[in-house]
Structure 1
Amino acid sequence: MALRFLGIIPNSPDTDSPTIWLDEETGDLLIQSYTATEEEVKACKEIGSISGHSSDVPEHETIIRLPKVMLKFLPKPDSE
């Protein structure tokens, strides 16, 4: 796996550091960030996504909260 560091939340302390990496082989992002609260997960489930799709979060997935300041580290699609 060839990972490239993209960014870390500015001015983060040593123990609180949302971070983003890019898997250069697949283009996938690996994101370390804050775990969504139970209230946030409940709200996501209530809103859902597309009609007919389960709003449950499978055991192998999670919902995270990515701080707005981290958006600048997200790579642009190749078409842009």
Structure 2
Amino acid sequence: MPLMFVGIDPNTGDKQSPTVWADLEQQELVLQGWLPGPELEAECAATEVPGHAVGIPEGEGVVRIPARMLHMIREACDALEAHVR
């Protein structure tokens, strides 16, 4: 099953396109966003969270999604929740 497109940043230009999808088959939220600068990535990697190793594991990354897209993230979450097996 293809990804369910939910929305794209309404302020997107020709070169930027933060996007939200729902993968109903894998039951995953899929986000495309801006890569953080080295300072933000280092801050995320250094932040201690209970039950979570410090650092960003290989194969994972940090992205920025603008707050104006929150309704799209909610819509994608609702779609996933409706398709939980």
Fold conserved between structures, TM > 0.5 = yes
TM-score of Structure 1 vs Structure 2, range by shorter chain: 0.7 to 0.9
Higher relative contact order (CA 8 A, sep 6+): 2
Is 1:62 the equivalent of 2:54?
no
Count of equivalent residues? 78
Q: Going by fraction, where is strand more abundant, 1 or 2?
A: 1
Tell me, which stretches of 5 or more residues in structure 2 are unaligned?
A: none
8 Å Cα contact 2:33-2:65 kept in structure 1:
yes
Identity of aligned residues (%): 33
Tell me, which stretches of 5 or more residues in structure 1 are unaligned?
A: none
State the shift of 1:56 in Å. 1.5
TM-score between the two structures when normalised by the length of structure 1: 0.80
Q: Going by fraction, where is helix more abundant, 1 or 2?
A: 2
* RMSD across aligned positions (CA): 1.9
8 Å Cα contact 2:46-2:55 kept in structure 1:
no
TM-score between the two structures when normalised by the length of structure 2: 0.76
